[in-house]
């Protein structure tokens, strides 16, 4: 609205709306109200001196001074966020674009560089570590999965097929960046220095576990490595990441918060609240969605009708990109750029990584009941993130078959030893279930401990003998 409310028609319309908001629905109602309440009788010089009219006129003038404008042709309106054009036509925003948002990639399915591809240069040392850690993650998953099937672990969830998102993302970050994971990002911890023994200790819940046996397997955490402990509930980590990012911003830290979630997590209210919170507060946080096609047994076609998750960023005013999550070089490049923008410009970034969960959702799931074995086989071979990246580093002369054999043999040996040590280690004392949270345990917590001990005493045969009391 380019001019102030000078036209009589626009001012009259505004006054009528304002009077209605004040409760004066009709002129007769307003007249009766004035006659009943004015001490000196009704006004004698016309409605323009009516106290309500004067009030409305005053408010209209005030509003006109703070941007409540319109031009003479009623074509545009100033509004928070920018000027909005008027149209005399009934026009609905289309539910989808004719073309889907493209997906950024650098390496093709055969591991060859795409012509004219833009990517962040990576050194031989970093590239070899990315590949080595992806192989390590794959071997760790296979061994832990078999251990669960043997009854030695209660639960496990693999990252098979999603190794590039784990490792390449971690490679683009710094140790000062704070990670808020879901339960499929152990590769970030691996990159940061979490040892195979620490992974094994957590899965077996022994006395050397950082969480003292309180968490399910694969629910890792490390204060030292800026990796918040995994929570099984979906998407709760997203608002937490935004809060941490805003704290980093207030402290002027050269770091950002990074949070991971699956496509199913975008259906949770926490996802929408977190994105809006981050956009409005301009928090330096990276939202990384692993869109692997399946939220346990729910396909994305049943999850949302939009063009994936990337388009939801624009709705909240967040810069977004779609990336080939099975292309480690593309993931690394996109994360490097996103991190720099988030910190330099103090803004959130949404990254949708298209990938595929080759393994079952967890050891509690049989994915062949809701998807075909042929589909799984095709993704594991045609879009394998490890083989693609290996082809590229081999083409650079950075990797050989001998190095591959030595790496796999060494990691398998280290993993089996870590498993053996963790399995034989003593379990945490029962009292550890009730410690650490409060300096002085409250009465309800003391009561719970007493009830547990009474139950054990009454039914000792049902309590594991290897857990000290």
Report, as residue numbers or ranges, the catalytic residues. Answer: 357, 361, 370
CA dist 298 and 266 (Å) reads 13
Q: Give the residue among 199, 178, 129 at the shortest CA–CA distance from 418.
A: 199
Pairing state of beta strands 178-180 and 285-291? Answer: unpaired
Strand order in the sheet with 319-324: 178-180, 257-262, 285-291, 349-354, 319-324
The C-alpha R_g of the chain, in whole angstroms, comes to 30
CA dist 342 and 281 (Å) reads 13
User: How many C-beta neighbours within 10 Å does residue 146 have?
Assistant: 13
Residues 6+ apart with CB under 8 A from 303: 263, 264, 266, 267, 295
Q: Are 219 and 205 spatial neighbours (Cβ–Cβ below 8 Å)?
A: no
Residues 6+ apart with CB under 8 A from 133: 167, 170, 187, 190, 191
Q: Are 185 and 260 spatial neighbours (Cβ–Cβ below 8 Å)?
A: yes
CA dist 155 and 284 (Å) reads 34
CA dist 310 and 308 (Å) reads 6
CA dist 145 and 166 (Å) reads 18
Q: Are 366 and 360 spatial neighbours (Cβ–Cβ below 8 Å)?
A: yes
Q: For helices 328-344 and 385-395, what crossing angle results, to 10°?
A: 90
Report CA-CA distances (Å) from 438 to 15, 443, 450: 59, 11, 17
């Amino acid at each position: 609205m380019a001019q102030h409310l000078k036209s009589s028609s626009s001012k009259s319309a505004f006054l009528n709306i304002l009077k209605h908001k004040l409760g004066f629905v009709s002129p007769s109602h307003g007249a009766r109200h004035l006659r009943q309440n004015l001490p000196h009788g009704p006004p004698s010089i016309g409605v323009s001196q009516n106290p309500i009219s004067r009030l409305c006129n005053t408010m209209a003038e005030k509003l006109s001074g703070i941007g409540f404008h319109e031009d003479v042709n009623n074509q545009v309106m100033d509004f928070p966020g920018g000027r909005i054009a008027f149209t005399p036509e009934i026009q609905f925003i289309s539910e989808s674009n004719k073309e889907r948002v493209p997906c950024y990639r650098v390496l093709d399915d055969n591991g060859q560089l795409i012509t004219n591809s833009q990517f962040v240069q990576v050194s031989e040392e970093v590239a070899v570590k990315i590949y080595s850690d992806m192989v390590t993650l794959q071997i760790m998953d296979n061994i832990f999965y078999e251990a669960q099937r043997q009854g030695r672990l209660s639960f496990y969830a693999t990252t098979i097929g999603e190794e590039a998102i784990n490792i390449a993302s971690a490679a683009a970050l710094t140790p000062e960046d704070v990670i808020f994971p879901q339960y499929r990002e152990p590769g970030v911890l691996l990159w940061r220095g979490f040892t195979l023994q620490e992974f094994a200790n957590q899965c077996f819940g022994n006395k050397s576990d950082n969480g003292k046996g309180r968490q399910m397997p694969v629910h890792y955490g490390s204060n030292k490595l800026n990796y918040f402990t995994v929570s099984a509930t979906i998407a709760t980590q997203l608002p937490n990441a935004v809060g941490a990012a805003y704290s980093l911003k207030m402290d002027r830290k050269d770091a950002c918060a990074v949070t991971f979630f699956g496509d199913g997590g975008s259906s949770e209210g926490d996802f929408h609240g977190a994105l809006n919170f981050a956009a409005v507060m301009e928090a330096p946080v990276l939202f990384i969605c692993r869109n692997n096609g399946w939220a346990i047994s729910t396909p994305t076609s049943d999850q949302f009708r939009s063009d994936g998750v990337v388009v939801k960023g624009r709705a909240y005013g967040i810069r977004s990109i779609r990336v080939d999550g099975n292309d480690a070089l593309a993931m690394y490049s996109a994360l490097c750029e996103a991190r720099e923008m988030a910190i330099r410009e103090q803004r959130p970034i949404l990254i949708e990584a298209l990938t595929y969960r080759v393994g079952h959702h967890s050891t509690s799931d049989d994915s062949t009941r809701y998807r075909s074995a042929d589909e799984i086989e095709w993704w594991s071979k045609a879009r394998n993130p490890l083989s693609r990246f290996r082809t590229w580093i081999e083409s650079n002369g950075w990797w050989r078959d001998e190095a591959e054999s030595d790496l796999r043999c060494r990691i398998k040996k280290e993993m089996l030893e870590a498993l053996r040590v963790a399995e034989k280690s003593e379990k945490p004392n029962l009292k550890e279930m009730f410690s650490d949270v409060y300096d002085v345990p409250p009465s309800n917590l003391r009561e719970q401990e007493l009830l547990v001990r009474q139950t054990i005493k009454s039914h000792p045969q049902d309590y594991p003998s290897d857990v000290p009391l």
